[in-house]
Chains A and B, each alone.
Chain A
Amino acid sequence: MISRSTLAAFGGLALTALALPAQATTVNIANGSEPGTLDPQKTSGVWETRITRSLFERLVSYAADGSLVPGLAESWEISDDGRTYTFHLRDAEWSDGEPITADDAVFALRRVLAPETANHNANLYYPIEGGHEVNTGDAGPESLGVEASDARTLVVHLTQPTAWFLQALAMTEAAPLPEHVLADSDDGWVQPGSTVSSGAFTLSEWQPQSRIVVTKNAHYFDADDVAVDEAVFYPIDDKQSSLNRFRTGEIDIAYDSVPASRFDWVQENLSDALRVGPLIAEYFYMFNLRDDQPLADARVREALNLAVRRDVITQQIMGQGQTSSYWYVPRGTANAPQGEMDFAELSMDERMARAKSLMEEAGYGPDNPLQLTLNYNTLEDHKKVAVAVAAMWKPLGVEVDLVNAEAAVHYTTIREGNFEVARYGMVATIDDPYDFLNAYADNGSASRASGYRDETYDELVAESTRELDADKRRDLMTQAQQRLLDDYALLPLYDYVSAHLVSPDLTGWESNSMDVHPLRYLKETD
Chain B
Amino acid sequence: MLSYTLKRLLQAIPTLLIVITISFFLMRVAPGGPFDGERQLPPEIEANLMAAYHLDEPLPMQYLRYMGNLIQGDFGPSFKYKDFSVTELIAQGFPVSLEIGGLAILLALLLGLPLGIAAALKRNSTVDYLVMGTALTGIAVPNFVIAPIFALVFGVLLGWLPAGGWNGGALPNLILPVVALSIQQIAYIARMMRASMIEVLGSHFIRTARAKGLNEGEVIWRHAIRPALLPVVSYLGPAIAGIITGSVVIEQIFGIPGIGRYFVQGALNRDYTLVMGTVVFYGILIVVMNLIVDLLYSALDPQIRYDD
Contact = CB atoms under 8 A, between A and B. Distances in A.
Interface of A: 34, 36-39, 42, 44, 115-120, 122-123, 132, 135-136, 188, 190-191, 207-211, 234-238, 240-241, 244-245, 247-248, 250, 406-409, 411-415, 424-427, 429, 439, 443, 445-446, 448-449
Contacts of A424: 38
A136 B37 contact: no
Contact of B36 (A412, A429, A443): A412
B93 A120 contact: no
A210 B257 CA distance: 5
Nearest to A235: B255
Contacts of A122: 44-45, 48
Nearest to B258: A209
- Chain A binding site: helix, strand, loop or mixed by DSSP? mixed
8 contacts: A36-B80, A115-B52, A117-B48, A132-B44, A135-B48, A241-B151, A241-B254, A424-B38
* Most-contacted residue by chain A among B38, B159, B253, B269 (CB, 10 A): B38
A444 B37 CA distance: 15
A439 B40 CA distance: 9
B169 to A, nearest CB: 10
B76 to A, nearest CB: 14
A236 B261 CA distance: 12
Interface residues of B, number: 52
B148 interface: yes
A61 to B, nearest CB: 23
Interface stretch (B81-89, B180-188, B210-218, B229-237): B81-89
Contact of A407 (B38, B81, B151): B38
A409 B252 contact: no
A449 B40 contact: yes
Contacts of A236: 164, 255
Contacts of B52: 115-116, 118
B252 A238 contact: yes
Interface in B37-68: 37-45, 47-49, 51-52
Given A37-B81, A411-B40, A415-B36, A244 B164 contact: yes
A443 B89 CA distance: 38
A234 B256 CA distance: 11
A236 B252 CA distance: 7
Contact of B257 (A132, A207, A414, A427): A207
A411 B38 contact: yes
A412 B257 CA distance: 30
Contacts of B39: 44, 120, 427, 429, 445
B166 interface: yes
Given A250-B162, A415-B40, A408 B48 contact: no
Contact of B155 (A44, A132, A248): A248
B194 interface: no
A248 B156 contact: yes
B92 interface: yes
Contacts of B191: none
B36 A244 contact: no
B133 interface: no
Contact of B163 (A34, A248, A427, A429): A248
Contacts of B114: none
Nearest to A189: B83
A408 B31 contact: yes
Contact of A244 (B42, B156, B256, B268): B156
B32 interface: yes
A231 to B, nearest CB: 16
A370 to B, nearest CB: 27
Nearest to A248: B163
A406 B156 CA distance: 32
B44 A244 contact: no
Contacts of A120: 39, 41, 45, 49
A175 B166 CA distance: 33
B283 interface: no
Contacts of B45: 118-120, 122-123, 135
Contacts of B30: 408-409
B13 interface: no
A123 to B, nearest CB: 5
Given A36-B80, A445-B41, A209 B31 contact: no
B163 A244 contact: yes
A426 B78 CA distance: 26
B152 interface: yes
A43 B92 CA distance: 22
A162 B151 CA distance: 51
A409 B47 CA distance: 19
B93 A208 contact: yes
A71 B246 CA distance: 44
Given A120-B39, A248-B156, A190 B83 contact: yes
A424 B81 CA distance: 26
Nearest to A426: B38
A427 B261 CA distance: 26
Given A237-B252, A248-B162, A448-B40, 20 more contacts: A39-B83, A120-B49, A122-B44, A123-B42, A207-B257, A209-B93, A240-B151, A240-B253, A244-B155, A245-B163, A248-B159, A408-B30, A408-B31, A409-B31, A412-B32, A414-B40, A429-B39, A439-B40, A445-B42, A446-B40
Contacts of B151: 240-241, 244
Nearest to B40: A445
B82 A245 contact: no
* Most-contacted residue by chain A among B41, B159, B163, B166 (CB, 10 A): B163
Contacts of A250: 162-163, 165
B83 A188 contact: yes
B159 to A, nearest CB: 7
A406 B257 contact: no
B270 to A, nearest CB: 5
A406 B270 CA distance: 11
Nearest to B52: A118
A412 B251 CA distance: 29
Contact of B164 (A207, A241, A425): A241
Given A408-B31, A409-B31, A445-B42, A241 B253 contact: yes
A44 B33 CA distance: 15
Nearest to A122: B45
Contacts of B47: 136
B82 A408 contact: no
A210 B166 contact: yes
A189 to B, nearest CB: 9
Nearest to A247: B156
Contacts of A408: 30-34, 36-37, 268-270
Interface in B141-155: 148, 151-152, 155
Contacts of B257: 207-210
Contact of B268 (A245, A407, A426, A429): A407
B219 to A, nearest CB: 50
A182 B256 CA distance: 33
Contacts of B82: 36-37, 39, 42
Interface in B239-270: 251-258, 261, 268-270
Nearest to B53: A118
A180 B69 CA distance: 32
Contacts of B49: 118, 120
A426 B38 CA distance: 7
* Most-contacted residue by chain B among A190, A235, A237, A238 (CB, 10 A): A238
B255 A234 contact: yes
Contacts of B159: 248
A411 B270 CA distance: 13
